[in-house]
Structure 1
Amino acid sequence: WMVPSSLIQEGRFDEIQAIAQSAVTKLLDLKLAHIGINAADEGEAHQIAQFFETVFGFEARENPSSIFSDTYVETLKSPYLGEKGHIAISTPNVERAMTYLEKRGVAFNQASIVRRPNGLIQAVYFQKETGGFAIHLVRKD
């Protein structure tokens, strides 16, 4: 049902694989959600957020552990995972994305899992950093 039967009959498996990969890509809908910056302390976090608000007009929204500059930049009030910070990738289904990425060799930091009250995973970090950045998946609504 996903591919024309002629592709199967003709053994055009490269094309079938490309169609299947395209479907998976659309299903996972992986997108850059935001970049996280590890500030040394709360004062530095406010300075960074003020910079993004002054220069780009990204309104600062503070929460207990960080300050979001619009939805683009999250400045943490104290260093967290990632030597330089983190990169958040959104997906509508974190569990499905984890299964897919595990098959591609990605290991997840199980201790970093944050769950919603309904039990679904809201966020999870990769085990390894990339270029000094922690990578995490985050559920988008």
Structure 2
Amino acid sequence: MAASGAGAVIAALIFGGRQQWNKRGLLAYGGVLISGMALLIMPFVSWAPALIGLMVIEGFGIMIFGLIWETSLQELVPEEAFGRVASLDMLGSFALLPLGYVVVGWLATVIGGKITIITLAILVLITIGMALSVPSIRRFD
């Protein structure tokens, strides 16, 4: 998990100070694609340094999405509504994580850890495909 954090820090250092974003929709979901692909490859790798590298890539990709998401919220949500929107965003992003951990843990117990990772990584990739099929997301600058 520390390797994922290292990847996130690298992405934050590279992209965090960016003032202008071009093709935000494609870049954000490209970051999730990178993350999802790293997760999909993980169950097939047993060499520890490669797994660490994949976790760095996973953290890097998801941080790109996070940076674009937060920047877009700040730019697009009116100041008078920002507190409410941000609180709902935080609820969905963080407060529901424990529920997700319970479901994933249960699923891994029922069908196995590798199959769970593969299945959920494929769901991530399908979700990206669905999101990118929306023209306004692809054009979002």
Could you say which structure has the greater relative contact order, defined with CA pairs below 8 angstroms and 6 or more residues apart?
2
TM-score, structure 2 normalization = 0.23
- The structure in which a higher percent of residues are helix is 2
- The structure in which a higher percent of residues are strand is 1
TM-score, structure 1 normalization = 0.23
